[in-house]
Structure 1
Amino acid sequence: MTRHLFNRRAVLGGAAAATGVALSGLPARASGDVIAAIYPGSWEEAFRSIVGPALTEASGVNLELDPLYAVDQIAKARAARGLAPFDVFVLDPGPAASGMEMGLYQPLDMSKLSNAAKLPQVFVDDFSIPVAAQVVGIAYNPTKVAKPAGWADLFKPEFASRLGLTGFQTTFGTTSLIEISKIFGGSETDVAPAMEKIKEILPQVAAVAQPSAMAGLFQQGQIDLMYTNTQTVATLKGRGVDIEFAVPETGAIAFVTTMHIVKDAENVENAYKYLDTVISAGVQDKLMQAPFNFIPVNGDVDLLDTLPMASLDEMNGFVRHDWTKINPLRPGWIEQFNREVAA
């Protein structure tokens, strides 16, 4: 028997045509499904291999993933105009703050998350839960350069000649450049000192590249220093690369990737089951292992001794940033870096 469906996917396809925003790739929905946006690449691979099977085993819910970068998730949800294209966002701090300002999330009922109490509460709010932590600092090759003490060392000749620079396109790049600026008199909203110092050493630096190229340059030995997160360091170390992570003397940078239930989501109850599965100790422990190397957020998970903290509580003292202040300035910073450094 043939069924004729007038479903959300068809409606959103029409909305996309009307608004000029592509909403392709939305999976077909069954009553037992949940549709979650996910970052393409290692995140998608990890969630397909670990989270999806765990969710189905625990609750019978099927996980459908919609691979989208953060800015594309926000754009797709805004274009949908009340017909949510997926049930759950996954976002880093900058896009998460933007989505909050746009009213794209619905409040969370923490009583529906059995694992919520296991999370670092400093990163929990009424509209989001953390699902993976990020710790940012300086990666270096211990066979080629000394361990840098902090951000200022990167501008010394012996370090600058092996340094790889990248701009403000990523969370780790933005926060690192802000911390560099602070060392030289700047602030969370003033990166001019960092830009001036970078231009001074630019003729000496080993490479200026897109964020996605940095790990490859390090692995190939074209650079021996870069600002990055522990996940990248662990991944490269797993490939046999000589690499270590240095916590700057001013402190490591900490932020979390969060999940949010989309306003007007179609399958809210299954979305809660998905969130609870993601933050469960068993799933968090598996995501922490190679090759994915996520930093867990469930306090019942014993952290690997390769991480720069013994417990999640230590993250409370790490450096954090206010993205409501950063977001309005960031496009201009990106343009300036591309024009003055990357050109």
Structure 2
Amino acid sequence: MKRALFTTAVVLASLQSAWAEEKTLVINSYGGPYEAVQRKVIFEPFEKKYGVKVQVATVYSADMLAQLRAQKAAPQFDVVQFSGGQEIVAAMEELLAPLEASSLPNAANLYPFASEGISKGYGPVALVTVMGLIYNEKTIPQAPKAWKDLWNPAYDGHVVLTDLSNTYGLQSFMMINKISGGSLENWQPGLDQVTKILDGSTVITSTQEMQQNFAQNDAWIAPFAQDYAYVMRKAGLPVKFVQPEEGGSALYITMNAVKGRPNADLAAKLIDFSLSPEVQVELAREMRYSPTNRLAELPADVAGEVVHGEGLQQLIRFDPATVAGIAPKMVADWKRTISH
């Protein structure tokens, strides 16, 4: 009898452990304000709605892909976010669980570019951050309109460039190269153009340095991200963002289900929750990310600072797989150029 009771207790403990595991979703985020806002707008409301626990780990995109590879036999994450196109590689390596459109009701209202990955084995684009130009509206002689304004002689000595070791710097350089007549196969035109504007310009490596230059070093203009212009403005700096007339560069943030996890249904629900127009409006309001759900109606003050609607159709996305292959050589060439 005692043995039977012991066996029953063990079985119940095992079941309770399994139930607890099934009620917990593990997802990565990117720390700082981004993660804080996601907790407030997505994870905590989702927990209340579905009675589950969302466990968040701060893991950036490249490291997240490395962890998925290392954990392939026993994955530890249910949902992963990528911001650099790693979802394409992860899907090719069968690290992600394909999603059915029927499990994502909000996917029907996404812009086509945001939902096309679902049929290719990876998750939808939940948010877009746009690379364009940020500028000090109080000190710059004339507000910029185009990428070519970066080499306007009137701005000499007041331009800030970001090193290509930073994703924002890499995206910015590829836009400069494209506007200068280059391509992903030939980035010499971009390097030649950078050489012309390096004298008197500042090259930084981090977002913190960008804010310092606008606050302390009389920076007027820089190629940088839409959302970070808002971060700087909240810090009291008179910084504005403009989508250049030649178009902006798009960085997609995707949410993907991981293969081999027991919570596939809940994972899909969390991803779909992030695609809802209500959540996307809040993320645009809180962080100035561009929504991918066409039903997201932005307040006027937010809409004036966020690329949305038809503006999203003008964005340029450089093929992540191609960029991953050329980036090391491009970065090396860049470092030689700026060191001269």
- Classify the TM-score, shorter chain: 0.7 to 0.9
Q: Identify which of 86, 92, 102 aligns with 1:101.
A: 92
Gaps of 5+ in 1: 8-28
Q: Is the contact made by 2:168 and 2:225 (CA closer than 8 Å) also made in structure 1?
A: yes
**Normalized against structure 2, the TM-score is what?**
0.85
Equivalent residue, structure 2, for 1:220: 216
Question: In structure 2, what residue type is equivalent to 1:167?
Answer: D
Amino acid at match of 2:157: S
TM-score, L = length of structure 1 = 0.84
Give 2:254's match in structure 1, choosing from 247, 252, 258. Answer: 258
Q: Name the SS for the 1:282 alignment partner.
A: helix
Residue of structure 1 aligned with 2:312, choices 306, 312, 315: 315
Contact 1:189/1:326, CA 8 A, preserved across alignment: no
Partner of 1:12: none
2:273 to 274, 277, 295: 277
| SS in structure 2 of the partner of residue 321 of structure 1 | coil
SS at 1:208 equivalent: strand
My pick for the range that moved more, 52-61 or 294-303, is 294-303
**Contact 2:135-2:143 at 8 Å conserved across structures:** yes
- The CA deviation at 1:221 is 4.2
Report what 2:337 is aligned to: 340
Q: Percent identity of the aligned residues?
A: 24
| Residues 284 and 306, structure 2, Cα contact 8 Å, conserved in 1 | no
Distance 2:167 2:90 in 1: 16
Report if aligned partners of 1:54, 1:283 keep a CA contact under 8 Å in 2. Answer: no
Q: Equivalent residue for 1:132?
A: 127
* d(CA) in 2 for partners of 1:61, 1:85: 17
Match of 1:195 among 191, 197, 210: 191
1:120-173 CA-partner distances (Å, limit 9, x unpaired): 122212221111111221111122222223222212332231111112234432
Contact 2:22-2:262 within 8 A present in 1 as well:
no
* In structure 1, distance between residues paired with 2:88 and 2:210: 26
Q: Which range moves more in the overlay, 297-306 or 322-331?
A: 297-306
Rounded to whole Å, the distance in 2 between the matches of 1:72 and 1:308 is 29
Matches of 2:88 and 2:154, distance apart in 1: 38
1:232 corresponds to which residue?
228
Does the aligned pair in 1 maintain the 2:87–2:254 contact within 8 Å?
Answer: yes
> Aligned partners of 2:150 and 2:220: how far apart in 1?
11
Which residue of 2 is the match for residue 38 of structure 1? 29
- For the residue of structure 1 that corresponds to 2:85, the secondary structure is helix
* Alignment RMSD (CA, Å): 2.4
Contact 1:162–1:223 (CA under 8 A) maintained in structure 2:
yes
- 1:266-297, CA deviations, whole angstroms, 9 ceiling, x for partnerless residues? 3211111211221122222222223x333222
Structure 1 residue identity aligned to 2:232: L
The structure with the larger Rg is: 2
C-alpha separation in 2, matches of 1:335 and 1:257: 26
Structure 1 counterpart of 2:328: 331
Cα distance in structure 2, aligned partners of 1:68 and 1:236? 24
Show the 5 A alignment for 1:16-95. Answer: 30-95=21-86
